[in-house]
Structure 1
Amino acid sequence: MTGNNRFKRLLTAILCCCFLLGVCESAIADDIYQSKTIHSSDGIGKFYQGREIAKVMGHTEALWLERPSREVEEQPQKLIEALNLEPTNIVADIGAGTGYFSFKLAQKLPLGKVLAVDIQPEMLDIIEFLKNENKITNVEPILGTLTNPNLPENSINLAIMVDAYHELSQPHEVMQEVVKALKTNGKVVLVEYRRENPFIAIKKLHKMTQKQAIKEMSAVGLEWVETKEFLPSQHLLIFSKA
């Protein structure tokens, strides 16, 4: 066999393998997510574990995240106290937005820090401005992607997502990366409006049931620890690395 023929056969084999890998990856993606042409106007038409994924709140809604009424509606200080943080903890605030929770968490971590993750550079610009304006040194803005929060492996004690998880367009991939980033005994906390209660005045797709949250976290190897129900309208769901 000549050198040219050997090269052509090798190239053909490589291309075939790439094609088959692409087909397999596509099949896996189809198994994880489903798309429907008829869907809620508040959703993206993509379903995960039977739940329709909600549209993302854009940076133009930043003032909504900083609304004064949030102190009463969500009681953030009570939420943070319930996390039982250690001063040296490293906490990832995923879907940090304007840093509303990041800066509150930072006050509890004088020897640790908060990794404020968001996929919108405009949100991170706001965090950077507030960080410099208030001379806060233990909040680090991180630009994530739709599939990866860009956290180092084995680097965080806690990942928290407040009213954010339900908007992840690639929740399976993101949570797989979060699990990798957790240290031994690390925890994941989801704070979501209770979908079980139809009287909570939040759009349906922006709420989650406890059952659905546990189902989705178990899909990436996270075990449900407990659910705290002391907040006015939200679950505080705690999970650990299996």
Structure 2
Amino acid sequence: MWRAALPLLLLGACDSPPVAQSVMQSSPGTGEIRPVKAPIGPAFPAPDRPVASIASATWSDEDARDNDGEAEDVIRRLGIRPGMHIADIGAGSGYYTIRLSPVVGLTGRIVANDIIPDYLARLRKRSADKGLTNVDFTLGDAGDANLASQSVDLALMAHMYHEISEPFALLWRLQDDLKPGGRLAILDSDRPTARHGTPPALLRCELAAAGYQQIAFNRLENGRYLTVFQPTFRPDPGTIRPCKAN
């Protein structure tokens, strides 16, 4: 999961361009984590809403989620199949990473992404213990997932969008990381961001401001929803206007 505020990693927190950050990125096909340098980029507006804090790497008990059929339902609705390359953004303890890996198979790839190095280290060990060989690990920051250009068919943000402190920067840069026709799927709860959810109307507004169009929306049980977006244009960062939460 993504922590709400990491002062040294915030992009666009002031009017001047951010200083380039030293980050870590996986070496494709090896599961190793290697250092790269994030590029200096334009400033983006902060969201006009509360950003949720994070208490742990796990959103909820994994057995309970499996008993509810959460991952199975999400995988079916998203049409995930062998050979796909998927980024699990805000992977945390790896609930989706572990379950997506066997679905995409040896011809596919999962990129487990987070901004907390310790989460990735623990997930890397968990993946190794389970014998998963198609998982790479990438350390992002608040405004950039730091994925390879045009590398993923699907980016998944599960129960973490409300924790992103620089959503417009992250979404804008994510357009580079999606393959042509690639999708962004967001799983969240329909409640205020301060209560660890995102109202669907607010989510659509923020994604539209970053150049995305909603192409699917599914109401799930217990106030949750799964929505899918695709980029349609790339706005000038200076024209992006934050959306107000009602």
TM-score by length of 1: 0.74
Deviations 1:69-96 (A, max 9, x none): 2224572211111110231111000000
2:81 pairs with 1:91: no
Aligned equivalent of 2:226: 236
Deviations 1:121-157 (A, max 9, x none): 1111111111111110111111111221110111110
2:152 pairs with 1:156: yes
Say which of 79, 97, 101 aligns to 1:102: 97
Deviation at 1:67, TM superposition (A): 4.0
Give 5+ residue unaligned stretches, structure 1: 1-21, 34-47, 197-202
- Relative distance call for 1:32 and 1:91 in structure 2 (3 A) is same
Superposed counterparts of 1:136-147, under 5 Å: 136-147=132-143
Q: Is the 1:143–1:149 contact (alpha carbons within 8 Å) kept by the matching residues of 2?
A: yes
Say which of 30, 49, 52 aligns to 1:54: 52
Provide the rounded CA distance (Å) in 2 between the counterparts of 1:64 and 1:205: 13
Deviation at 1:66, TM superposition (A): 4.5
Provide the rounded CA distance (Å) in 1 between the counterparts of 2:224 and 2:139: 27
Mean Cα deviation higher: 61-70 or 116-125: 61-70
Provide the rounded CA distance (Å) in 2 between the counterparts of 1:63 and 1:220: 28
Equivalent position amino acid for 2:188 in 1: E
Equivalent position amino acid for 1:89 in 2: M
Deviations 1:78-118 (A, max 9, x none): 11111102311110000000111111111210110110000
Provide the rounded CA distance (Å) in 1 between the counterparts of 2:188 and 2:125: 27
Deviation at 1:238, TM superposition (A): 0.5
TM-score by length of 2: 0.72
Deviations 1:25-50 (A, max 9, x none): 59x85x712xxxxxxxxxxxxxx1x3
Say which of 143, 165, 168 aligns to 1:169: 165
Q: Is the 1:74–1:232 contact (alpha carbons within 8 Å) kept by the matching residues of 2?
A: no
Aligned equivalent of 2:209: 219
The structure with the larger Rg is 1
Runs of 4+ aligned residues of structure 1 deviating over 6 Å after TM superposition are none
Aligned equivalent of 1:133: 129
Provide the rounded CA distance (Å) in 2 between the counterparts of 1:204 and 1:222: 24
The CA RMSD measured in Å over matched residues stands at 2.3
Give 5+ residue unaligned stretches, structure 2: 1-13, 19-41, 233-246
Say which of 109, 113, 116 aligns to 1:117: 113
Equivalent position amino acid for 1:215 in 2: C
Provide the rounded CA distance (Å) in 2 between the counterparts of 1:129 and 1:169: 28
Q: Is the 2:161–2:198 contact (alpha carbons within 8 Å) kept by the matching residues of 1?
A: no
Say which of 196, 200, 211 aligns to 1:206: 196
- Structure scoring higher RCO (CA < 8 A, sep ≥ 6) equals 2
Aligned equivalent of 1:37: none
Count of residues in correspondence between the two structures: 195
Q: Is the 2:58–2:92 contact (alpha carbons within 8 Å) kept by the matching residues of 1?
A: no
